[in-house]
Amino acid sequence: MKIRENVPLATLTTMRLGGPARFVIEIEEPDDIVEAFDFVHDKNLPFFILGGGANTLGHDEGFPGVVIINKMRGVRVDGDKVNAMGGEEWDKVVEKACEANLTGIEALSKIPGTAGAAPVQNIGAYGQDISQVLESVEVYDTLIDEFKTLKAEDLKFSYRKSILNSEEAGRYFVVALTLKLKEGQMERPFYNSLERYIEANNETDFSPKAIRRMVSAIRADKLPDPKEHASSGSFFKNVYLNDDEAKEAEAKGLPVYHGKDGNKINSGWLIEHAGLLGKTLHGMRVNEKAALVLINDSAKSYADLAAARQEIIDAVYEKYGYKLEQEPVEIVAA
């Protein structure tokens, strides 16, 4: 277990903003977890559990407690099940599953972050999400200082949401997860962007490896690598509508996608058509190829980000009447 002091949150998050965390502890094996939370309790400090920092924002004032980072690695494929340690890179988990010709997460290729973060916000893309394949998560319950197993139904999944980022946020440290996949392939029709890629490239192979290759190519073309360009991935959640709202939106000429997960309008479309594509606001640039992504070109503070965020929310609301919601979580004391 590694303990460091006064570590800038800007160095721990892919948006590269934020002042110092008082302490940072890196967890490398399960025994470290108990020791880390003993440290937290002994010093009576708040704590924040962090994965790869890809969907997380730091504040200018930093964090007055302990940031606990999951560094436990490892992936194992056993038949149709995939077991991954919480600190493993998510894309490595997808890669291993595809190598075993297992379908269920191939469309989630190249999503930055760790395996432990995947069930927290129920990551999803191109018609797949983690709730469809998660069997269980091994966790450390910080409320009672015990290890336990949570089943998928215990997490109360919904769009970009689980108990892990809502009513029980911060309570559970994800040690490992188990996915139940299956042999086979995704079934058409796919999401529009994937279908367009297939038609443009005359693709006929839809095996897990092939879909992974296609999705990786699409993401590489549209989404900046957070290692090269400071960003936190998709910054705003898509807008979900009930059936009546969807009909009303379509009557106004808005593009409503009717998918397995409900009716939605892509927030990136709303941002683009509000005239913000490629605009730089307070040092934050709206990505030219995927308006859901904000890139930190020259912002120096969380205040800059907050100002840019509000301008985008206001512009979309003024034009379309929808209030966008932020997707990344923020490192703040409970």
Q: What is the pLDDT of residue 228?
A: 86
- Domain shared by 248 and 163, yes or no: no
Mean pLDDT value across residues 114-142: 95
Same domain, 171 and 239: no
Task: Kindly report, residue by residue over 98-108, the tens digit of the pLDDT.
Answer: 999 999 999 99
Question: Which of 39-43, 190-194, 265-269 shows the lowest mean pLDDT across its residues?
Answer: 190-194
> Looking at residue 94, what is its pLDDT?
98
**Mean of the pLDDT values across residues 69-95?**
97
Please tell me the predicted confidence (pLDDT) of residue 224. Answer: 82
Residue 206 domain-assigned (yes or no): no
Express as a percent the part of the chain with pLDDT over 70: 100
Q: What is the mean pLDDT of residues 145-171?
A: 94
The whole-number pLDDT of residue 225 equals 83
One domain, residues 83 and 52: no
pLDDT of amino acid 259: 75
Q: Is the pLDDT of residue 53 over 80?
A: yes
Domain match, 65 and 81 both: no
pLDDT at 58: 96
Q: Which of 70, 97, 117 marks a domain boundary?
A: 70
Last residue of a domain, one of 183, 202, 217: 183
- Banded model confidence at residue 233, pLDDT cuts 50, 70, 90: confident
Give residue-wise pLDDT tens across range 191-215: 888 999 999 999 999 999 999 999 9
Average pLDDT over residues 258-267: 86
Domain that residue 50 falls in: 2-70
Matching residue, tokens 């190829």: 289
H, E, C per residue of the chain:
CEEEEEEEHHHCCCCCCCCEEEEEEEECCHHHHHHHHHHHHHHCCCEEEECCCCCEECCCCCEEEEEEEECCCCEEEECCEEEEECCCEHHHHHHHHHHCCEECCHHHCCCCCECCCCCCCCCEECCEEHHHCEEEEEEEECCCCEEEEEEHHHHCCECCECHHHCCCCCCEEEEEEEEECEECCCCCCCCHHHHHHHHHCCCCCCCHHHHHHHHHHHHHHHCCCCCCCCEEEECECCEEECHHHHHHHHHCCCCCEEECCEEEECHHHHHHHHHHCCCEECCEEECCCCCCEEEECCCCCHHHHHHHHHHHHHHHHHHHCCCCCECCEECCCC
pLDDT (tens digit per residue) in 272-295:
999 999 999 999 999 998 999 999
| 196 falls within a domain | no
What is the reported pLDDT for 127? 87
Residues serving a catalytic function are: 160, 234, 327
Provide long-range contacts, Cβ within 8 A and 24+ apart, for 211-215: 211/106, 211/107, 211/109, 211/185, 211/186, 212/94, 212/95, 212/98, 212/106, 212/109, 215/106, 215/107, 215/108, 215/109, 215/110, 215/125, 215/126
Which of 153, 183, 213 is the last residue in one of the domains? 183
* CATH number assigned to the domain comprising residue 33: 3.30.43.10
Average pLDDT for residues 111-127, to the nearest whole number?
92
Sign, CA dihedral 226-228-230-236, equals: negative
The count of structural domains within the chain is 3
**Do 243 and 165 fall within a single domain?**
no
pLDDT band at 222 (very low <50, low <70, confident <90, very high): confident
| Spatial separation of the C-alpha atoms in residues 172 and 296, rounded to whole Å | 30
- 81 lies in the same domain as 59: no
CATH number, position 268: 3.90.78.10
pLDDT of 261 > 80? The answer is no
